[in-house]
Amino acid sequence: MQRYKIHPAKWVHKLPDNVSYAEGAMLEPLSVAMHGIRTAELTLGRGVVVCGAGPIGLIALAAARASGAHPVVVTDLEPRRLEFAKEFVPSCTTYQVDPSLDAQGNAARIRNLFGEEEYYAPETVLECTGVESSVCTAAYTARRGGSVVVIGVGKAIMNNLPFMHMSLTES
């Protein structure tokens, strides 16, 4: 960590006096989550899955719920993160990823939380982990014609796909 960082002025935004540094620090993850929600055109009554209950996933979860998304499911490997997510957004449903299942197996269980017919499968999946297995699960979770928005990008290349390039070009 360092105390000071030099950036071009165009990258810096002055915080209003009524915004603390802690609140200001949350603006970047919030803006990333909001961009993903807008890209997915997530609106009132549309089901969504948020993959990952880390900082960006939690903000995406709250923002998705605030946008009117319903039902909302959040997934993670860690039970503590899921417990916190449930306290943070009580109306959400949690799913603990089963590491003994492959991406299709976990996706099938997640989809069943929405109902058994294809029509009820989630229209939108917000992938916030950047973990390759979670990205694959997200792809199998969205219904036909749905959208997967990869918000968290972990590796530059996943499954021989240039994910970092795709993220930067928003392709």
Comparing 5 with 114, the larger pLDDT belongs to 114
**pLDDT score of 171:** 61
Comparing 8 with 171, the larger pLDDT belongs to 8
- Boundaries of every domain in the chain: 21-169
Hey, which of 22-36, 81-95, 110-124, 129-143 has the most confident mean pLDDT?
Answer: 81-95
What does the DSSP assignment read for the chain? --S-----GGG--PPPTTS-HHHHHTHHHHHHHHHHHHHHT--TT--EEEE--SHHHHHHHHHHHHTT--SEEEEES-HHHHHHHHHHSTT-EEEE--TTS-HHHHHHHHHHTT-SSGGGS-SEEEE-S--HHHHHHHHHHSPTT-EEEE-----S-BTTB-HHHHHHHT-
Res 167 pLDDT > 80: no
Q: pLDDT of 16-64, one tens digit each?
A: 999 999 998 888 889 999 999 999 999 899 999 999 999 999 999 999 9
Comparing 155 with 99, the larger pLDDT belongs to 99
What does the mean pLDDT of the chain come to?
A: 91
pTM summary value = 0.87
Comparing 21 with 157, the larger pLDDT belongs to 21
| Domain made up of 21-169: CATH architecture | 3-Layer(aba) Sandwich (3.40)
**pLDDT score of 28:** 86
Res 128 pLDDT > 90: yes
**pLDDT score of 1:** 64
Res 166 pLDDT > 80: no
